[in-house]
Amino acid sequence: MFSDHVKGASIAFDLDGTLVDTAPDLVRALNEVVEPEGLEPVPVAEVRAMVGRGARVLIERAYAAQGRALIGDEVDAHVRRFIDVYRAGIADRSQPFPGCIEALDGLKAAGAHLSVCTNKPSELADLLLQTLDMDRYFDRVIGPDRTPAKKPDAAHLFASVSPGAKRIVLVGDSEPDATCAKAAGVPLILMTHGYSEVPVSTLGADRLLDSFVELADALEVVLPVSP
């Protein structure tokens, strides 16, 4: 599936919306928090585009959509409750996107160095990957608390790969990934199945993929030749 062209290359992946469809569990946790407060359950379709904004925005928007508002300590308490509920069933409904595991297997077998570059808190990213038996694929899992500056800052991407890495590609699904890759000066591959708030076709990716089946061909095109 993957040729020797990827050997030694550093392939950094976003997590939510790129590798794993986490929206169903995020919605599960969100609704467990807001329904006891008298809000109607939030549909999954309404949350997918907001996943990258974090728990606080998910909760605030859920309230705002139903004409309610939270202030100060109320927001903080809801966020803490959301994190606890989410953590307790972090992969109850979340699954790798179709073809993801096969692609990771192929990349590892071909000698690529794989990492996760995510704005999800590192503890939750670790737990999700461990629960799905995906942590074995990655040399590094770098959330915002393990880097001097989070995406879209290029420092996040560089923290997720080996020091001095030259052949780097970022695979993501949304605007923070696109801005990060541009700032870092590296090729960008975006998955169309993700959680972008704007049309993913407008983000300037070197390649747009509908499926991980297309990843091998995309890397052949965008990845610089090994010196």
Domain 23-88 has CATH 1.10.150: yes
Between residues 69 and 158, which one has the greater pLDDT?
Answer: 158
Local structure of residue 18 (DSSP, 8 states) = T
4-21+94-222 and 23-88 in the same fold = no
Q: Is the pLDDT of residue 42 over 70?
A: yes
Could you give phi then psi for residue 7, rounded to 5 degrees? -60, 130
Per-residue pLDDT band at 170 (split at 50, 70, 90)? very high
Q: What is the pLDDT of residues 64-121, one digit of tens each?
A: 888 888 877 888 899 999 999 999 999 999 999 999 999 999 999 999 999 999 999 9
Task: Give me the long-range contacts of 135-141 (CB less than 8 A, separation at least 24).
Answer: 137/104, 137/105, 137/107, 137/108, 138/114, 139/113, 139/114, 139/115, 140/115, 140/116, 141/115, 141/116
List the chain domain ranges.
Answer: 4-21+94-222, 23-88
Please state, rounded to an integer, the average pLDDT across all residues of the chain: 93
Pairing of strands 188-191, 168-172: parallel
CATH number for the domain running over 4-21+94-222? 3.40.50.1000
pLDDT for 171-188, tens place per residue?
A: 999 999 999 999 999 999
Of 191, 162, 165, 167, the closest CA to residue 177 belongs to: 191
In 3D space, the residue among 141, 170, 156 whose CA is nearest the CA of residue 9 turns out to be 170
pLDDT at 160: 98
Percentage of the chain beyond pLDDT 90 is 77
Known catalytic residues are 14
Res 44 pLDDT > 70: yes
pLDDT at 136: 98
User: What pLDDT, on a 0 to 100 scale, did the predictor assign at position 227?
Assistant: 66
What pLDDT, on the 0 to 100 scale, is given for residue 184?
Answer: 98
